[in-house]
């Protein structure tokens, strides 16, 4: 297959296809491609058909159509483990608040986490902040794959995305969508959750890359195709432009791909929150360590190894004496609330305890704030919902 590209400033070029040629206009990149497909079912035709599909169906997203590495980087980090529908508005708010890498680097971690609140996987925000400071310290954004890969929180996929989208470098992106499309089309039985499998798919994806000038559009096409057409469940294979060469479709095994060697068990954790109020102030605690929600704020917390009714908490070892005194006014707001994380189910309850004076035996350093100041703190999404639902702000 030979691929020729030329600049075309036309806005309404429709797809035309013969047994040997495909012509399409990539609206998001503002140039046209003249593609000769000599073989119908080889890897080159795979790229040709994807680009043609992308012309007709590609998503219009605010981070596309730019080669600004900062914008590309922010969008890719936000979209890790996040649906595009949710990430879209977060992206707009984030780049409005932090329009360039210097502004992000100069911000405090609390400011960054507050802007990130509700997106989850908060290590992404902390790594983003640290990497911004790396970029400022080195004097500019890295423009080679090895240097991009050295940025805090940037893995193989993100480095490839930045390298190809911002700099046009020939690196294939491999995410969940890409695993699904490639494994189904080529009938790859190699598990995607093993080191060997990841290397296999990385090599396959790299081998399928078209000419350098087409890499960005091809990578975006492949990801959109997995997100919109070759979806995990209920894929409409009858209208798929790749179906006549797809091994999984031919063999009636679309649901069998991609292959995984194991499934992670979902564990339950039992969290008991106590919202401590003294006068017009409440106690907040910053989460530390390497557990979930690091750097975010929450009410006082006791975690138990198994389910425990809220009324029995007061008898457990580790419960501060100050919270058990007779003058303490306790109110149960909710119990048994299930909050789903990727591989954990949190079973939570929330109580309010009103005390006459600030206790000194809480076991963690408290930050005492007035209700009107709560909006300035970053909370886990569950806690933020509670604050709003029970009018605690």
Query: Can you give the three-state secondary structure of the chain, one letter per residue?
Result: CEEEEECCCCCCCCCEECCCEEEEEECCCCEEEEEECCCCCCHHHHHHHHHHHHHHHCCCCCCCCCCCHHHHHHHHHHCCCCCHHHHHHHHHHHHHHCCCHHHHHHCCHHHHHHHHCCCCCCHHHHHHHHHHHHHHHHCCCCCCHHHHHCCCCCCHHHHHHHHHHHHCCCCCCCCHHHHHHHHHHHCCCCCCCCHHHHHHHHHHHHHCCCCHHHHHHHHHHHHHHHHHCCCCCCCCHHHCCCHHHCHHHHCCCHHHCCCCCCCCCCEEEEEEEEEEEECCEEEEEECCCCCCCCCCEECEEEEECCCCCHHHHHHCCCCCHHHHCCCCEEEEEEEEEEEECCCEEEEEEEEEEEECCCCCCCCCCCEEEEHHHHHHCCCCHHHHHHHHHCCCC
Q: From the candidates 76, 137, 327, 357, which is the catalytic residue?
A: 76
Among the listed residues 82, 85, 78, 33, the one whose alpha carbon sits nearest the alpha carbon of residue 59 = 85
Give catalytic status of residue 76 as yes or no: yes
Known catalytic residues are 76
């Amino acid at each position: 297959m030979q691929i020729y590209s030329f600049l075309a400033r036309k806005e309404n070029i429709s797809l035309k296809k013969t047994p040997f040629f495909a012509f399409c206009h990539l609206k998001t990149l503002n140039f046209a491609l003249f593609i000769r497909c000599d073989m119908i079912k080889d890897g080159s035709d795979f790229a040709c058909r994807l680009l043609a599909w992308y012309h007709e169906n590609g998503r219009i997203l605010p981070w596309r159509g730019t080669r600004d590495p900062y914008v590309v980087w922010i969008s890719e980090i936000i979209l890790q483990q996040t649906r595009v529908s949710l990430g879209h508005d977060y992206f707009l708010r984030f780049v409005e608040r932090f329009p360039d890498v210097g502004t992000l680097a100069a911000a405090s971690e609390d400011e960054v986490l507050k802007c990130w609140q509700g997106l989850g996987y908060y290590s992404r925000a902390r790594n983003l902040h640290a990497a911004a400071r790396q970029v400022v310290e080195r004097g500019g954004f890295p423009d080679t794959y090895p240097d991009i890969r050295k940025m805090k929180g940037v893995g193989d996929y993100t480095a490839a995305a930045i390298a190809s989208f911002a700099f046009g470098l020939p690196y294939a992106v491999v995410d969940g969508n890409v695993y699904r499309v490639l494994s189904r089309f080529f009938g790859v039985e190699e598990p995607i959750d093993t080191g060997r499998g990841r290397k296999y798919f990385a090599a396959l994806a790299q081998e399928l890359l078209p000419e350098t000038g087409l890499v960005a559009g091809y990578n975006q096409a492949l990801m959109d195709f997995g997100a919109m057409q070759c979806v995990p469940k209920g894929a409409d294979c009858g209208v798929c432009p790749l179906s006549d060469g797809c091994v999984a479709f031919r063999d009636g095994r679309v649901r069998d791909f991609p292959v995984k060697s194991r499934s992670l068990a979902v564990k339950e954790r039992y969290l008991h929150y106590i919202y401590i109020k003294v006068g017009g102030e409440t106690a907040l605690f910053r989460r530390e360590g390497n557990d979930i929600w690091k750097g975010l704020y929450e009410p006082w917390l006791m975690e138990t190894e198994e389910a425990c009714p809220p009324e029995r908490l007061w008898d457990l070892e580790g419960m501060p004496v100050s919270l058990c005194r007779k003058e303490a006014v306790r109110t149960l707001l909710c119990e048994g609330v299930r909050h789903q994380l990727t591989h954990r189910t949190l079973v939570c309850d929330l109580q309010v305890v009103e005390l006459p004076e600030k206790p000194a035996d809480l076991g963690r350093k408290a930050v005492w704030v007035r209700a009107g100041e709560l909006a300035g703190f970053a909370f886990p999404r569950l806690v933020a919902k509670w604050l709003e639902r029970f009018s605690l702000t």
